[in-house]
Chains A and B, each alone.
Chain A
C-alpha cells in the first residue's frame, strides 16, 4: 500500500541539495523530469504494473510510464514510494525491489533486486541505503520479521545486513549518523545507528507512526489510530519526544499532505457500511480542524503543490484501469481533472 507523498520532505531535501552550490555554476542541464509533478501509480496487485506519470503543469502535458519510456523495460512492480536523495531518485516497489534512476531523465543507475521482501521506503546515510521492509508474511499474514535492510553504496547492489525492527516499518528519516524508523504496527519510532548498523534507541508513540516531516526546524512524525491523529515532535539532538498535537479525526488512513502554514490534509475512510472517504484539514500550529473538507469514494493519495497552492487528490477508480487525479484550489474549487496510470497513490512535486 502506498503510504502517501513525500513532497514536503523532498522539497526540503532539494533545498538542502541546491543551497550547497551556486545555481549559476551548476552545469548539469535540467532534465525533463527535474521540473513538474511526478505522480506515483502503485499498479494493481497481481499485475505489478506500477509506474510514474509526469505532469508538466505549465502545458498540462502528461507523460505516462516514465520509467518504461526511459529504460525500455517495464517497472514490473507495485510502486510504493519515490525518494529523492543524493541526486538519485529511488523507486521502491513493495513487490521486492528498489530501482535507482537519474532524477532528470529516469535513466537507470542500478537496483536492489534480491534480498528484499516487501520494501516500503528508503533513506540514505553514510553512503548506504537503508530500506524499511515489512519482511515476509507468516501463516496468519502477520509480519513479525520486519527489518531495515542495509545496502552498501548509493546505486543499489546486494543487501549486506537486515536490522530487525518492530512490525511494519514505513517511513525513514536520516539525520547525521541516525536513521529514524516509523514502525507503524509496533507504535514505535526506532532509531538506528547508521555507522554500526544497529538499533540505538526506541521511542513509544501514541498511535501508528507512518510519516516523518520537518516543521519549523523540528522533526515530526504523523501517527494515527482509529479515533485520533497525532503529530509528535522529536528532538533530533536529544532523540526524545517533545510535543504532541492531537486531533479527533476518526478513521484516518495514514495518507497526508503538508500544505502551507502548518496545515495538513488528512485522508479518511469510514469503512463498513458506508465506505465513505474524506479529507480533513488540520493546522498543527493553531489547532484548527475542518472535518470532511471533501467527501467521496476511491480516495487513494493526496499531495500539495506549494507553488500553485493546489491540492492534488488521487482516485484509484477501483484499480480496474487508469486512475484519476482531481486538482483543487485551497478554497475547495475543482480546477483540473487528469487521467493517470493504475492506482495513483501519491505525488512528488519537483
Chain B
C-alpha cells in the first residue's frame, strides 16, 4: 500500500531542488504544549533519539529519565513505573491517541522502537483532566511529524552489533508547501545470545542465553496535506510486528513464544477560521497478541471533536468530546464496550511571566459516570535578572484508571464490581535557568501522590480475582540539571538527574516501600563535539529494590555506563554518511533489573547512516 501511495502522490511532485525548511506542522500539536502549565515535562531532542535509534523506548526511558522500567530480560517485556506507580498507571499516546492495550491496560515499551517516532515527550504526575484514562503516574507521548524540508529526502541506516544484532531501516520523505509524505520501514533481528552468570548453579558459571531471540519489523506512513488556506489533514499509519522467544528466568528452561502485531491509523482534520479552530480526530487500532498457541485480539475505534480558541487576548480555551469503541476477543472472553468523555481546558498567560492552566474532564463507561477530574497548574517567573531567571512551577491534578477489560471480564475471576483506581497528585518545583555562552538549567521538584483502590489480583482458592485493595502514598524529589558551553573548538553538553522516591503501601504491615520501586535513581551524561567528531558518555543508576511486599528479598542496585563516538564528516556530493560506534554496559556489569532476569554484559554497536 505504501509503495502505491508513493507512486500516486509523490513521484508527480518530485523535484530536484535543494531541501528547504518548512513551517512546523500544527495539526496534531499535543495539549502538552498549551495547557500543561506547572507540569514536569521531559522532551527528547532529535540528537538523543538518534543515539537510541537501534534501541527501544524502554531503554531510552530507563537510562535517561526518573522512570523505572521493569525489564523482563533483553528485548523482553519492558513496562514503565512513574513515581512508584504500576505499569498500568501510565498513559501512552501515539499521535494523540491512547495505545495501551485495552485488555492488559499497559504497553510493552520494548516493542516500541525509537526509530518509529520523531518526537518523545514525557509528563509526570496525575493528569487525568488533560489526558484522560490511565494518566495516574504520568504519560508518554510519541508522535510522528512529516518532514519539514521541501523536496525529496532519503535515509538508509544499518546497525550491526553484539549477540547477532542486525537492524536495517529506511526512510523516504517528500515535502512541498501543500503536501508532505514520510515513509519508514524497519527490520531488527537480535538472537540475544549474550553470556550471563547462571547464579542458580553452583559456582555461578557463565552460560550463553538460550531462547531469547527477538525479531521486529514495521512500516510507518505519514501524509500531511494543506487542503485549503483553512484546512489541514494529517494521516498516520503504523504497522508493527514483533516475534519473541520469551527469555526464561535464570534456573528454568521455559520455551514460551510471543508474537505481537499492531495496526494503528490516525486521521486528523484541522479547520481554522479567524481565531477559532475545529479539530476532528479519528483513529483505528487493532492489536493481536499470540502467546504460545493462545490468541488474543483487540480492536479500538476512536472519534473526537474539539474546538479551540488558541489565543483570545491572554486566554486560551479548548473544549471537546471523544467516544471510544473497544472490542476484545481473548482466549477466555469476548467483550465490547463504549466510553465517552468530555473535556475542557482553560489557559491564561501574561507574556512569559506567568501562565496558568485549568483542565476538567468527565469520563463515562458502561452505565457509569466516574469521578470528575480537575487539574490546575501554574508557571510563574519569579524574577529575571540579566540572563538568569527563577521559575516557580506547581500543579495539582486527579487521575484515574478504569479497570482494564481483563480485570472485569477474564474467565475465571474477572470482577465486574471493581471501582476505578484513583489518584491525587500535587507538586511544586523551582527552576533556575541561565542563558548565554555558559547556559544551564536546574530544576528541583517535590511531589506527593496518593493512589486509592489500586487493583491487585489475589488467589482465592484455585482462582485469582482482582480486587480494589491497595492504598499507596508516594512522595519524592526530582532533580534535573543540564548545561552547555563552549571551550575553544569544543562544544560541551552535560546533564545530571537524581530522583528520590518513597512509595508506601498503607495496606501492608509497616507500610513499607512498594516492590520494584527503587528509592534512588539517577543518570548523567556528557557530550563533547569538535567539528565532525562527537563523543558521548552516559551512565545511570538504579538503587536497591525489593522484589515483593515486606522487603523479604532485596535486589542490589546497579550502575551502567555507555559510551559512543560519532563521525559525521564522511560526505560524497549531497550524500552524508554519519558513522556511530557505541559500547553499552562498558564496565561489563552483571546485573538484573528484575529478579532472575539475566541482562547482557558489555556489547558493541556500529551504525552507518546514509542521508540524501
Contact = CB atoms under 8 A, between A and B. Distances in A.
Nearest to B467: A318
Interface stretch (A28-36, A73-81, A199-207, A256-264): A73-81
Nearest to A64: B552
Nearest to B515: A321
Nearest to A140: B293
Nearest to B594: A47
A198 to B, nearest CB: 27
B199 A74 contact: yes
Contacts of B254: 95-96
A93 B462 CA distance: 20
B596 A74 contact: yes
Interface in B364-410: none
B253 A48 contact: no
A253 interface: yes
Contacts of B294: 139
Given A73-B202, A275-B461, A322 B550 contact: yes
Nearest to B200: A76
A95 B412 contact: no
A95 B596 CA distance: 13
Nearest to A65: B553
A297 interface: yes
A277 B460 CA distance: 8
B459 interface: yes
A48 B293 contact: no
Nearest to B549: A321
Interface stretch (A168-176, A179-187, A265-273, A305-313): A265-273
A210 to B, nearest CB: 14
A47 B294 CA distance: 22
Max count, chain A CB within 10 A of own CB: residue among B294, B547, B548, B595: B548
Contacts of A74: 199-200, 251, 596
A271 B550 contact: no
A142 B506 CA distance: 40
A301 interface: no
B462 A77 contact: no
A9 B502 CA distance: 48
A233 to B, nearest CB: 28
A320 B254 CA distance: 23
A49 B204 contact: no
B252 A269 contact: no
Of A251, A269, A300, chain B has the most CB atoms within 10 Å of the CB of A269
Contacts of B249: 46, 48, 76, 95
Interface in B243-267: 249-255
Given A76-B199, A272-B412, A275-B463, A322 B250 contact: no
A339 B510 CA distance: 13
Contacts of A77: 200, 251-252
A65 to B, nearest CB: 8
Among A48, A251, A269, A341, residue most surrounded by chain B Cβ atoms (within 10 Å): A48
B547 A49 contact: yes
The main secondary structure of chain B at its interface with chain A is loop
B461 A271 contact: yes
A316 B459 contact: yes
A326 interface: no
Contacts of B293: 138-140
Instruction: Pick the most buried of B253, B456, B460, B515: most chain A CB atoms within 10 A of its CB.
Output: B460
Nearest to A41: B552
B201 interface: yes
A97 B251 contact: yes
B585 to A, nearest CB: 22
Interface in B409-463: 412, 456, 458-463
B202 to A, nearest CB: 6
A77 B456 CA distance: 23
B491 interface: no
A86 interface: no
Most chain A beta-carbon contacts within 10 A, residue among B199, B255, B462, B551: B462
A14 interface: no
A151 B58 CA distance: 43
Contact of B547 (A47, A108, A271, A298): A47
Interface in A284-319: 297-298, 300, 316, 318-319
Nearest to A298: B459
B508 interface: yes
B252 A96 contact: yes
A298 B469 CA distance: 15
A73 B200 contact: yes
A44 interface: yes
A319 to B, nearest CB: 7
Interface in A319-339: 319-322, 339
Interface string A38-75: 00000010111100000000000000110000010111
User: A65, A76, A137, A138 — which one has the most chain B CB atoms within 10 A of its CB?
Assistant: A76
B210 to A, nearest CB: 11
A153 B553 CA distance: 34
Contacts of B204: 73
Contacts of A271: 460-463
Contacts of A44: 548
Contacts of A136: 255
A218 interface: no
A162 interface: no
B465 interface: yes
B292 interface: yes
A316 B463 CA distance: 14
Contacts of A120: none
Given A76-B251, A271-B462, A342 B456 contact: no
A126 interface: no
A140 B249 CA distance: 23
A270 B460 CA distance: 9
B438 to A, nearest CB: 48
A87 interface: no
Contact of B253 (A114, A138, A253, A275): A114
Interface string B515-550: 100000000000000000000000000000011111
18 contacts: A44-B548, A47-B595, A49-B548, A76-B249, A76-B252, A95-B252, A253-B462, A270-B461, A271-B462, A272-B460, A272-B463, A298-B459, A300-B459, A316-B459, A320-B456, A320-B550, A321-B548, A321-B552
Given A319-B459, A322-B550, A341-B552, 14 more contacts: A73-B202, A76-B199, A76-B249, A76-B596, A77-B200, A269-B460, A271-B460, A275-B465, A318-B459, A320-B508, A321-B508, A321-B550, A321-B551, A322-B548
The 7 closest A-B pairs by CB, nearest first: A321-B549, A269-B461, A76-B251, A139-B293, A275-B460, A76-B200, A321-B550
